[in-house]
């Protein structure tokens, strides 16, 4: 049983395309995080959401608490956006259930 | 400001041995959490410490343990290593209150042979 479902698993886009990654979860959460992982292992937290929408540069994250669904959008994608994007739901503190990740490749 | 530091970065151990991994959080952060990442299971939560007390624990056997010191540095220990313990072990720190951003270390790559 997967508490967090993420789609798609793999995504290839041309530079400049608009990208959407989806995350659905089945448990009650205190917050949802979008994480970015580059080859080599390091993880960066992009967003933490408990409601509504947040925007950082070309990245936008939304969450619908009633529908238990979140999306990460990348506008005007760039090759440097190539990474694995992971949805993580917090049960409290830093105890997370993680999605399986979306591997994004942006081709110049 | 220095980030989250994990040591060692890479290590190879033999089945049956034990291993200790170290994590130094960002200065001022009181919460340290540990995660295991494998190709098969993905990322899984191990445990979280806050002010030297274990606050949350994931679903891992008792061979996996941890502790946090008064300076917030944390260690995790895996005893009686199994081949399946080969993984990237990630540590993360935060202030530990609701709404805080979490910061990850680069991880410790453990190979069990």
Tell me: the pLDDT tens digits for A68-84? Answer: 999 999 999 999 999 99
pLDDT category at A1 given cuts 50, 70, 90 is low
State mean pLDDT over A95-103.
94
pLDDT range class, residue A18, cuts 50, 70, 90:
very high
Q: Are B107 and A41 in contact (CB < 8 Å)?
A: yes
Sorted by sequence, the CB contacts under 8 Å of residue B113 that are 6+ apart come out as B12, B13, B14, B15, B83
From the list A88, A95, A97, the residue facing B48 with the nearest CB is A95
Q: Which residues of A touch B94 (CB under 8 A)?
A: 94
What's the average model confidence in pLDDT over A43-61? 95
Q: CA angle B2-A94-A35, nearest 5°?
A: 70
Query: What average pLDDT does the segment A29-50 reach?
Result: 91
CB within 8 Å of B30: residues ≥ 6 apart: B50, B51, B72, B95, B96
- B103: which chain A residues are within 8 Å (Cβ-Cβ)? 45
CB A30 within 8 A of CB B98: yes
CA dist., res. A81 & res. B25, Å (int): 27
Count of A–B CB contacts within 8 Å? 65
Strand partners, B92: B33, B104
CA–CA min distance B69, chain A (Å): 18
Q: Mind listing the pLDDT tens digit for each residue in B17-56?
A: 999 999 999 999 999 999 999 998 999 999 999 999 999 9
């Amino acid at each position: 049983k997967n508490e967090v479902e993420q789609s798609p698993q793999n995504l290839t886009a041309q530079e400049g395309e608009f990208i959407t990654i989806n995350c659905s979860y089945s448990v009650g959460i205190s917050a949802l995080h979008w994480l970015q992982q580059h080859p080599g292992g390091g993880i960066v937290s992009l967003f933490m959401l408990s409601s509504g929408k947040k925007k950082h540069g070309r990245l936008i994250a939304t969450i619908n608490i009633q529908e238990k669904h979140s999306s990460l959008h990348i506008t005007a994608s760039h090759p440097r956006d190539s990474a694995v994007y992971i949805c993580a739901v917090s049960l409290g503190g830093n105890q997370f259930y993680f999605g399986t990740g979306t591997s994004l490749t942006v081709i110049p | 400001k220095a980030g989250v530091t994990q040591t060692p970065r890479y290590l190879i151990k033999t089945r049956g041995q034990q291993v200790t991994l170290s994590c130094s959080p960002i200065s001022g952060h009181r919460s340290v959490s540990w995660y295991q990442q494998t190709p098969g299971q993905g990322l899984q939560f191990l445990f979280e410490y806050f002010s030297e007390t274990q606050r949350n624990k994931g679903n891992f056997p008792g061979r996996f343990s941890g502790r946090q010191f008064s300076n917030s540095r944390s260690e995790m220990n895996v005893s009686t290593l199994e081949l399946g313990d080969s993984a990237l072990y990630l540590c993360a720190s935060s202030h530990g209150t609701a709404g805080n951003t979490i910061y990850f270390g680069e991880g410790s790559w453990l190979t069990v042979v």
